[in-house]
Amino acid sequence: MLRISKNRISLENIPLNEAAEVNVTSDATTDIGAAMSNNVNITGTTTITSFGTSAAGVTRKGRFAGALTLTHNATSLILPGVANITTATNDRFEALSLGSGNWIVTKYQKADGTSIVAGGGTKSGNIPVQIIKLGALNLNQNGTNYAMGLGEGETGTGSLANIRIQAKCTISKLRAHGNAAIPASNSLIVTLQKGGADTALTCTIAAAGTDAEDITNEVDLLPGDLIRLKLVSSATMTSTIDFTFTAVLTQTGSAVDEGSSLLYSFSGGSLNYVGEAVGSGTLDDVEVPMPACRVQAADGRDSTTAVSIGGVSKNGTSLQNYLFPSSFAGVEFTAGDYFAGINVGDASPPSFLPIAVDQGTQYDPCVMLFGVLSLAQGVTEWGCGLGSNAGITTESEVQIVIPACTLRNMRGLSSTAVASGTTTAEVFKNGVGTGLIVTWGTSSRYAEDVTNSAVFAAGDKMSLKVIAGGAVGSRDYTVSIESYYT
How would residue 255 be classed by pLDDT, with cut points 50, 70 and 90? low
Could you tell me what percent of the chain has a pLDDT over 70? 83
The better pLDDT of the pair 467, 74 is held by 467
> Residue 23 contacts by C-beta under 8 Å, 6 or more apart in sequence?
40, 41, 42, 43, 65
User: What is the Cβ-side half-sphere exposure of residue 79, based on CA atoms within 13 angstroms?
Assistant: 26
The better pLDDT of the pair 184, 305 is held by 184
The better pLDDT of the pair 330, 327 is held by 330
What are the φ and ψ backbone dihedral angles of 370, each rounded to 5 degrees?
-130, 160
How would residue 120 be classed by pLDDT, with cut points 50, 70 and 90? very low
Prediction pTM value: 0.74
- The lowest-confidence range among 115-129, 199-213, 451-465 is 115-129
> Given this model, what pLDDT does residue 477 score?
94
Question: For residue 115, is it within any domain?
Answer: yes
Question: For residue 15, is it within any domain?
Answer: no
Q: Work out how many domains the chain is built from and give that number.
A: 4
Residue 208's identity, in one-letter code, is A
Say if residue 471 is in the same domain as residue 380: yes
- Summarize the confidence of residues 398-409 as an average pLDDT: 96
Say if residue 240 is in the same domain as residue 190: yes
- 195 has pLDDT over 90: yes
Say if residue 474 is in the same domain as residue 374: yes
The mean pLDDT value of the chain amounts to 84
> Given this model, what pLDDT does residue 353 score?
81
- The lowest-confidence range among 3-17, 374-388, 424-438 is 3-17
3-state secondary structure of 416: coil
- 304 has pLDDT over 50: no
pLDDT tens figures, 32-72: 999 999 999 999 999 999 999 999 889 999 999 999 999 98
How would residue 457 be classed by pLDDT, with cut points 50, 70 and 90? very high
Say if residue 154 is in the same domain as residue 87: no
How would residue 323 be classed by pLDDT, with cut points 50, 70 and 90? very low
- 16 has pLDDT over 60: no
Residue that terminates a domain, selected from 75, 92, 121: 121
> Given this model, what pLDDT does residue 246 score?
98
Say if residue 115 is in the same domain as residue 137: no
- Summarize the confidence of residues 372-399 as an average pLDDT: 92
- 264 has pLDDT over 60: yes
Which residues constitute the domain of residue 381?
367-484
Question: For residue 263, is it within any domain?
Answer: no
Say if residue 240 is in the same domain as residue 135: yes
> Residue 393 contacts by C-beta under 8 Å, 6 or more apart in sequence?
380, 381, 382
The region that residue 46 occupies, defined by phi over 0 for left and psi between -120 and 50 for alpha, beta otherwise, is beta
Residue that terminates a domain, selected from 79, 101, 121: 121
CB contact at 8 A, 87 and 64: yes
Looking up residue 390, the CATH number of its domain turns out to be 2.60.120
Could you tell me what percent of the chain has a pLDDT over 90? 51
- Summarize the confidence of residues 398-413 as an average pLDDT: 96
- The lowest-confidence range among 111-125, 324-338, 410-424 is 111-125
Say if residue 372 is in the same domain as residue 460: yes
Question: For residue 260, is it within any domain?
Answer: no
- The DSSP-derived string for 306-343 is -SBB-EEEETTEEEE-SB--TT---EEE-TT-EEEEEE
The better pLDDT of the pair 482, 300 is held by 482
The better pLDDT of the pair 17, 252 is held by 252
Residue that terminates a domain, selected from 251, 283, 315: 251
From CA 373, how far away is CA 378, in angstroms rounded?
14
Say if residue 144 is in the same domain as residue 222: yes
User: Which residues share a beta bridge with 128?
Assistant: 484
- 77 has pLDDT over 50: yes
Say if residue 32 is in the same domain as residue 72: yes
Question: For residue 264, is it within any domain?
Answer: no
The better pLDDT of the pair 122, 450 is held by 450
The better pLDDT of the pair 430, 269 is held by 430
> Given this model, what pLDDT does residue 84 score?
83
How would residue 273 be classed by pLDDT, with cut points 50, 70 and 90? confident
Say if residue 287 is in the same domain as residue 218: no
Torsion sign over Cα 140, 158, 176, 134: negative
Question: For residue 361, is it within any domain?
Answer: no
- Summarize the confidence of residues 199-227 as an average pLDDT: 94
Question: For residue 142, is it within any domain?
Answer: yes
- 481 has pLDDT over 90: yes
Say if residue 151 is in the same domain as residue 236: yes
- 316 has pLDDT over 80: yes
Say if residue 422 is in the same domain as residue 478: yes
Question: For residue 282, is it within any domain?
Answer: yes
